[in-house]
Amino acid sequence: MKRRLVWIMLSAALAATSAVSVMAAETGSVIVSKTEGVADTVYGKVRGFIDEGTYTFRGIPYAKAERFQMPEAPDAWEDVLNCLVYGPTAPITKMTSPDGGDFLIPHRYWAQNENCQNLNIWTQSLDPEAKKPVMVWFHGGGFTNGSAIEGVAYDGKNLSEYGDVVVVTVNHRLNVLGYLDLSQYGEEYQYSGNAGIGDLVASLKWVQENIANFGGDPENVTIFGQSGGGRKVMSMMMTPEAEGLFDRAVVQSTNTSYQTQDAAQLVAAYTLENLGLTGDQVDELKDVPYDTLDAAASEAQKRVKEELGTGGSWVPVIDGDYLPAAPLDGGLQEWTNDVPLMIGSTFGESNSFSEVDPNTVNKNDWTEEEVSAKLEEKFGEKAENVLAAFRQAWPEKKDANAYYVDDSKRRAAFQVVDKRIESGADANYIYLVSYEPPIEGGVSLWHCGEIPFVFHNMDLLGVGASYGNTPEAYKLQDEMCSAWVNFARTGDPNGENVPAWSTYTADHEATMVFDAESGERVSFDKELQDLMKK
């Protein structure tokens, strides 16, 4: 369905009248209403708008927080709060030039503010008895960048409409504001290294308290996220604070690395040093302008990376308390054994981005000799064995694709599920998206490439172009979106539009391969993944 939006400015006249609604009857279907688009929260009423039948709320505050402190409940309000415009996103390092990957992954940027704890909702009903499945999206960008609206494909309208679900997307603190570990300087800063994770927990608490008034079922909440968002989902499975706040989890294209507290505290010490402050002056960090703080912390990270070989990026801190342990070291909480998990990746992940580099010879034009040379360059003496294993796993693909096949996110999915099986969790589903968009003669699906399919957003401006707008792509959109919605509804992705998909077990290593012709494969690429391990 083509998206039709008309922005309607609320005038002073509208505020002064008792008109029920304003509608663009001829040119669109956005309704801003004084009564129809209003919902209750425990903190006050919020007004959204109706977009082609979908109730839409933007920028609802779910928490508040002082710098480096864990979040608290937001302040209540008396008048109806207008939630027609997206709320501010977390501050990030200033960008000075466009992202070259924007064609593959269309982005947008917004006003930034440290008071960024807000969320957006799309729903088909405001009936508290509707009890529709709730899908809460944690955005990517690692723990450094991104926002709930950065990806154009994060828009939740079509997913809500197609799946008849309530979609929630969340903004939260990032980078130095969310993960600078100052715990060594006093109890006040005990959890500063995981303040951003605290925001996510607070958003899920808000959902539990309020989502029924938006037609959602607080007893059927699925959290899903991609890349850094996938690790945010995993972080919810690792913190005792999130117990009981969600019922299913989807981890898309992520890894399992976290920060040690020693490295995190060293970054904090060097940040203070870079600003000319001592540990006794830690409180002064609260007033340092963000850009200055960001620059000092970034330099500190570089220094720690040089000294320790780790600590060079913002990630949550394994502090033995809020996050007791890393996921592969027993960090997944025992109660998550009862939480069904869907986890997977794309065929090429970050390796694919070089496929569209205009300064390289397109892989589809490589000769047999060039394929051999490229594989030897990448895999050394293992090149021939890698190619043989690739042909066995992917007989339908060109040999050149062996150079681009993902060698990290796929393995992480196996590792996480293997750990869950050891702990007794038996509802695990693994997927791999191997569809090749036809641009440039065919490109291995890239990191973030599955998101438009999941959100049913192929028709959003700029999104479908990078996929070629093919019938195969639209069919795949229905299959993948249906799988995610089915999983959110029942904890099982099987159902209408989805090929038969088995749970992954030690004896039946099943993967749903999403492609132009989707289907389940069993134990088909473990040898390839093992050979590619660096």
Q: Rounded to 5, what percent of the chain is helix, strand, coil?
A: 40, 20, 45
Residue 372 annotated as catalytic? no
351, burial (CB in 10 Å: exposed 0-12, middle 13-18, buried 19+)? buried
Query: Which of 270, 261, 238 has its CA nearest to residue 310?
Result: 261
3-state SS record for 298-320: HHHHHHHHHHHCCCCCCCCEECC
User: What are the distances in angstroms from CA 467 to CA 362, 422, 443, 523?
Assistant: 17, 39, 9, 29
User: What are the distances in angstroms from CA 370 to CA 319, 347, 374?
Assistant: 48, 21, 6
Q: How many helices (H) and strands (E) does the chain have?
A: 13, 18
Contact 142, 172 (CB under 8 A): no
Task: Give Cα 10 to chain centroid, integer Å.
Answer: 33
CA quadruple 237, 336, 328, 408: dihedral sign: negative
Q: State the chain's maximal CA–CA distance in angstroms.
A: 77
Helix (H, G, I), strand (E, B) or coil at 9: coil
User: What are the distances in angstroms from CA 36 to CA 14, 82, 127?
Assistant: 15, 13, 12
Task: Give Cα 101 to chain centroid, integer Å.
Answer: 17
CA distance 432 to 405: 11
Tell me the sheet residues that pair with 112.
89
CA distance 499 to 385: 32
CA angle (509 as vertex; 403, 515 as ends), nearest 5:
50
Give the pair of three-digit tokens for residue 377: 């360059």
Quick one: CA torsion of 361, 362, 365, 367, rounded to 10 degrees?
Answer: 60
Helices (H), 278-434: 290-308, 368-379, 383-393, 409-423
The one-letter code for the residue type at 398 is: K
* Active-site residue (options: 160, 192, 203, 227): 227
Active-site residue set: 227
